[in-house]
A and B are shown apart, each in its own frame.
Chain A
Amino acid sequence: MVNAAQLHEVIERRLVTPVKGDQSQVGMYEEQFRAFTNDSKAAGPSWLRHMREQGMARFAELGFPTAQRGNERWKYTNVAPIARATFAPAPTGRMTAAALTKLAFWNKQWTNLVFVNGKFSKTLSSEMAGGVYAANLADALVSQPDLVRSHLGKYASLASDAFIALNTAFLRDGAFVSVPADTVPTAPLHIIFVTTKTTAEPTVTHPRTLIVVGNGSKVRVLESYITLVEDSYFTNAVTEIYVGNSATVDHCRFMVESPMSYHIGMTRAYQGQDSLLTSVSFSTGTAIARNDVHANLDAPGSTCVLNGLYMTTGQEHLDNSINIDHVKPHCTSREYYKGILAGQSRAVFSGRVVVHQDAQKTDAVQEDKNLILSEGAEADSKPSLEILADDVKCKHGATAGQIDLDTLFYMRARGLDVETAGSMLIHAFANEIINTAPIEQYREYLRDYTEKLLPEFKFVAPE
């Protein structure tokens, strides 16, 4: 595992040589870091304190990735507004179960881990179901220190990423899910990070999730990032997923934050031999939002499916950066993202699939499709492939277009008015992704949820 992590780091270093970014608020974060480490509750084992210090130091060195040159990963998303803004650490928030159920999927039969303003809520969280250890990371550090230590920070490398470094610096509460080998937990897991009414000034949280799935096990996990408020705040989330040999992880990510907020979500997955990871995201836009996924196929025979649906409107900006490293032979990957854009919104898809020299017999498909509903909306779609092996099957593609007029006429010629036809087409477009979400009950929820959003995503027929 250590070797794998080292390799992962090598890959990240090779992919991106970080350049110095915006350091204007580094002092503010350093001050918050001092207060945070002085807080006795944040203490933890010495290796963790060391890891946090490394995170802070690396963040201070890097600054936020705003550079104009040599900053390929952030080419289409300018994070300067995040870099320049001041954020206070989020205060303790209050939340009722009733309010929570209105904001997100909710099933009390599931194992629920709820975090309010970044802090674990014991009252809103449930007892863990059979076959899984699910707890606040801060508690797991006490009860499962060795297990946590052998995985935490191993897949989300702080070396090359300022957001991961910053998240690591403030590591305390978070979700820890561990499934022992050859086990299937009786219920799916739901990890919820909710932001409630904050102070007058914008606040920041650093949600952290670690999912460790043993060899031959199968787990279903939903992550939700939601809010009660229409405020400006900053969610700086990191999720690490370790998929053991022949293990299956069905993962969904639901991100519906305030349109005025900033959300940077880093998901880093490491896959063992013959493992299967299916991760399907749903995101709405915010002031600046980024769904940044990196799967590392580092053992033969593994498969990963990284799909996503995004719906943006108003002035929102959403960036999906979906990356896969094919390191070993006989691995399969699928990336299928679809966006529905209205208003003046902007969506970015940048995907990068790297097929390393040894990764013969790689089978990789990467595709992004956008449905543009208004003249002011804009999609930048940049799928890319880097192939260093010679015996591979790879393909990528991107499209952006409006509703096709021939299609619309066909439907009208059957008696459907423009509005009915439009919403049927938009829904069909969305359903193609929703149908791939690997958790059935959540899939139903998502179908209803997107249907409720449709009035904001109306098709207006051109004259």
Chain B
Amino acid sequence: MTTKNEKKTPLMEIRSLHVNIGPKQILKGIDLTINTGEVHAIMGPNGSGKSTLANVLAGRPEYTVTQGTVLYEGKDLITMLPEIRAREGIFLAFQYPVELPGVPNWQFVKTALDAVRTHHGGKEMDVRSFNKLWEEKMKLVEIDPALMKRSVNEGFSGGEKKRSEMLQMAVLDPKLALLDETDSGLDIDALRIIAQGVNQRRRPDNSILLVTHYQRLLNYIVPDFVHILIDGRIVKSGGKELALEVESTGYEKIKETAARG
């Protein structure tokens, strides 16, 4: 939690961000600053552009930024390749994680970690240290090691895929985690474990952007800020109580009052 007297360092500054998918405008001017140590939640109805926002920040090539700027640690993010963003500490936990048949989890995550390390001038991690880290993080997210012997996400259930994303995040230890509907398709137990994993990441040098349709996850991961995204625009921002307001009044009401106010 940030307090009033703490000096805030912006990690990501989004200004007037407009994004198209093909000819279609999806994001219509987003302004958002995420400081280090903060947890932000983006809430909004289906189709409002939540995933688009998370994906454009991670660098998905099909999405074109038509207007606006994004600075990450003071650097222009928009021209950065997706792999460079990842190595610079941005992690997108996918709403729909992709299956990689024939690519072992261990190899994939180790290659990813080594890419981060070498990017920062370090050396690849030796196998023994990586195995130790891998075991430790599997315990943390309570994932079945037998599952992790399989190919990346291949034949995983929705919940298993989300847990696997959390494992990758735990190993890669990013500065900015973008969690896209990480709660969807999870039962309460799984939700609690995931929330626990995310809450452990709350550190003064870490930031989290949670994207969710439902308020449910926010019972477990209490955000510092909540933003309501409707039709490509943030129509309202507030503290954690805004999530409860959405829950009781619904998105339509919020949109109306925001339009009036």
Binding site for B on A (CB under 8 A): 404-407, 409-418, 420, 424-425, 427-429, 431-432
Contact = CB atoms under 8 A, between A and B. Distances in A.
Given A413-B86, A414-B172, A420 B111 contact: yes
A425 B100 CA distance: 8
A428 B82 contact: no
Most buried by B among A405, A411, A432: A411
Contacts of A404: 98
B100 A407 contact: yes
Given A414-B108, A417-B83, A431 B115 contact: no
A424 B86 contact: no
Most buried by B among A414, A416, A424, A429: A414
Interface residues of B, number: 31
A405 B101 contact: no
B98 A406 contact: yes
Interface of B: 58-62, 81-83, 85-87, 91-92, 94, 97-98, 100-103, 107-109, 111-112, 115-116, 119, 151, 168, 172
B102 A428 contact: yes
B83 A416 contact: yes
Most buried by B among A405, A418, A424, A432: A424
Given A410-B94, A412-B82, A428 B100 contact: yes
Contact of A432 (B91, B102, B112): B102
The 8 lowest CB-CB distance pairs between A and B, nearest first, are: A428-B102, A415-B115, A415-B86, A410-B98, A414-B112, A412-B82, A412-B83, A428-B103
A413 B85 CA distance: 8
Given A413-B92, A425-B100, A405 B83 contact: no
A410 B97 contact: yes
B112 A416 contact: yes
Contacts of B151: 428
A412 B115 CA distance: 10
Contacts of B107: 424
A407 B98 contact: yes
A415 B87 contact: yes
Contacts of A427: 102
Contact of A414 (B60, B81, B168): B168
Contacts of B98: 404, 406-407, 410
Contacts of B101: 428-429, 432
Contacts of A415: 83, 86-87, 112, 115-116, 119, 172
Contacts of A410: 94, 97-98, 100
A406 B101 CA distance: 14
Contacts of A424: 103, 107-108, 111
Nearest to B112: A414
Contacts of B61: 405, 409
Contacts of B108: 411, 414, 424
Contacts of A432: 101-102
Contacts of A425: 100, 103
